[in-house]
Amino acid sequence: MPGISKRGAGMPSSPIRKLVPFADAAKKKGKKIYHLNIGQPDIQTPQQAFDAVKNSDMTVLSYSPSEGYEWYRDKIAAYYKSIGADINSKEIIVTAGASEAINFVMNSCFDPEDEIIVPEPFYANYNGFSKAGNVKVRPITASIESGFALPPMEDFEKQITDKTKGILICNPSNPTGYLYSKEELEVLRDIVLKYDLFLLVDEVYREFVYDGKSHTSVLTLDGLEEHAIVFDSVSKRYSACGARIGMIISKNQEMMSTALKFAQARLSPPTMGQIMGAAMTEVSPQWIKDSIGEYDNRRKVCYERLSAMEGVTVPQPGGAFYLFVKFPVDDTEKFCKWLLEDFDHEGETVMMAPGAGFYATEGLGRQEARLAYVLNSEDLHKAMDCLEEALKVYPGRV
């Protein structure tokens, strides 16, 4: 039998989805599972997105341009202008979700054996796309004790070699919820300009910031025109994960022309998704404000409940809709499996994403897990009840 590729064998499993078979088996046994493992919002997608598809006068579902329809890119550009970023439609490529955007940029900016510096814990698929392109991730560990703040500039400089081509961050962070300040972003700007690197920033959770704080897009910082590349998506902002519409935004035209060749090779982004995306750019600002308020309430529920559990360490997130939590257990992968296979509280249990899969450094994250507060507050309280009771009886508690 032919063997699979080394590239395929080396691809990491998703910590977010790898325990799905255990969850499916638990459901067959009649358990109710509170899914905190995946960032799938339960906020209703704006109705005008569905109406736009329903009311379309299209008679043939055709390919779109490889870079996306200009009428949609114009609307995206107008959105960016509203947050202070001077972007035009030629500086945008529409993709099949932010995942495809990351893939195109990795292929456009990095050769095999090139290196990219990423603060860890990080969104697990950064590791997957890097490995797929044979790009080496050089991690810099952010600590839970500091709330996952940006490590010092010296830590970055220690990791820079003649193979380093870029730095990648998520702001606000998936999985930690950390919100990078303007001052921290300016530190990164100084590093990438000093060493002539790309600065890749995942800004998918841009709107979700709390406690009166504000988000700074790297697209608004002076001096980064040839260095900054932003990934974005409709998935979280408009609760439209299944539309599969993301985008690359950059003023670096050489990089964008290169990424377009990859976009042409996959033909086009989803036509219906773009119709939905265009309609969602006209959603009332109040809809966004209400969504943020709802997530803020959920954040408070989880943070307060977790903080009250003995032995649990949880930084208060400043953005996104995740908490990265340290539990008093031997191994969160074992703990998360045990929650699904062997535990229930009144017929219910909870599913989380084990922390080790969000690190590149071997051995880190074994007592940590990511929780997504994407359920309503009542369900979150029940999920926290399950966790609280589980920690009392888990045989691997430390």
How is 18-63 classified by DSSP, letter by letter? Answer: TTHHHHHHHHHTT-EEEE-SS----SPPPHHHHHHHHT---SS-PP
Q: Report helix, strand or coil for 324.
A: strand
Query: With 80 as the cut, is the pLDDT of residue 16 above it?
Result: no
Residue 121 preceded by cis peptide, ω within 30: yes
The pLDDT-based confidence of 13 (bands split at 50, 70, 90) is confident
Q: Identify the pLDDT of residue 4.
A: 86
The mean per-residue pLDDT over the stretch 93-105 comes to: 97
In-domain check, residue 258: yes
Q: What pLDDT is attached to residue 10?
A: 83
Number of structural domains found in the chain: 2
The average pLDDT across 176-186 equals: 97
The answer as to whether 81 is a domain residue is: yes
Rounded CA-CA distance 311/301 in Å is: 18
Question: 387 to each of 33, 270, 379, how far by Cα in Å?
Answer: 12, 40, 12
Q: How large a percentage of the chain has pLDDT more than 70?
A: 100
- Write phi, then psi, for 105 (nearest 5 degrees): -70, -40
In this prediction, residue 18 carries a pLDDT of 82
C-alpha Rg value of the chain to the nearest Å? 21
Which domain, by its residues, includes 162? 47-280
> Which residue among 280, 310, 343 closes a domain?
280
pLDDT exceeding 90 applies to what percent of the chain? 95
pLDDT of residue 3: 87
CATH of residue 88's domain is 3.40.640.10
Strand partners, 158: none
Q: Give ∠ CA 227-231-236 in degrees, rounded to 5.
A: 155
Averaged pLDDT, 283-305: 97
Over the chain, what is the mean pLDDT?
A: 96
Are the C-beta atoms of 245 and 269 separated by less than 8 Å? yes
Question: Does 197 share its domain with 337?
Answer: no
Query: Are both 12 and 96 inside the same structural domain?
Result: no
How far apart are the C-alpha atoms of 282 and 270, rounded to whole Å?
A: 19
Residue 307 has pLDDT above 80, yes or no: yes
What's the whole-model pTM score?
Answer: 0.95
Domain co-membership, 74 together with 35: no
Backbone angles phi, psi at 365, to 5 degrees: 85, 5
CB atoms within 10 A of CB 257: 11
Q: What's the pLDDT tens digit per position in 308-320?
A: 999 999 999 999 9
Cβ neighbours of 203 (radius 10 Å): 23
Of 253, 280, 307, which residue sits at a domain end?
Answer: 280
pLDDT tens digits, 38-51: 999 999 999 999 99
Q: Which amino acid is at 14?
A: S
pLDDT tens digit string along 109-168? 999 999 999 999 999 999 999 999 999 999 999 999 999 999 999 999 999 999 999 999
Residue keyed to tokens 């870029």 = 166
